[in-house]
Copies of this chain bind each other. A is one copy, B any other.
Amino acid sequence: MSKSATHSYSRYSRAAAGLLGKLIRAARKQRRLTAQETADRAGISRGLLQRIEKGDPKCGIGAVFEVATIVGVQLFDADEAALAGHTRQAEQHLALLPKSVRRSPRAVTDDF
């Protein structure tokens, strides 16, 4: 990593991060929370909140989710109970799948 990675994300990922940021910003203003107040509640700096609302992909997902929760943007369109249920379901699904994915004789199904 001697040169800067300058990693570029797909359009979809950027759009998703950008949308989440806009939803957060709109929700915050609708609740009449100042940027500083929101940042304090989330335990982050105001500058980081600005980047989150701008959709900066390099922000930690925990910080983004925390702010989203504070301003009332539901991730997964589910409350915490439903989240736990989905987690159990995902775990059960995972338990049915092979623990190691072995590369098949041929290339993988979809390549691009």
Where the two chains meet, the residues of A that have a C-beta atom closer than 8 Å to any C-beta of B are 7-20, 22-23, 25-26, 28-35, 37, 43-44, 57-66, 68-69, 75-77, 80, 83-84, 86-87, 90-91, 93-94, 97-98, 101, 103-104, 108-109
Enumerate 19 A-B pairs (CB-CB under 8 Å) in ascending A order.
Answer: A7-B62, A10-B66, A11-B80, A12-B65, A12-B69, A12-B80, A13-B65, A15-B83, A16-B69, A16-B76, A16-B83, A25-B94, A26-B90, A29-B97, A29-B101, A30-B97, A34-B103, A37-B103, A58-B61
With a cutoff of 8 Å between Cβ atoms, the chain B residues found around residue A63 in the complex are: 9, 57
Given A19-B90, A57-B62, 7 additional A-B pairs, CB 8 A: A9-B63, A16-B65, A18-B87, A20-B61, A22-B94, A59-B61, A61-B64
Tell me the complex Cα distance, A65–B58, Å.
11
User: B60 near A13 (CB under 8 angstroms)?
Assistant: no
Task: Among A18, A19, A58, A84, find the residue whose CB has the most chain B CB atoms closer than 10 A.
Answer: A19
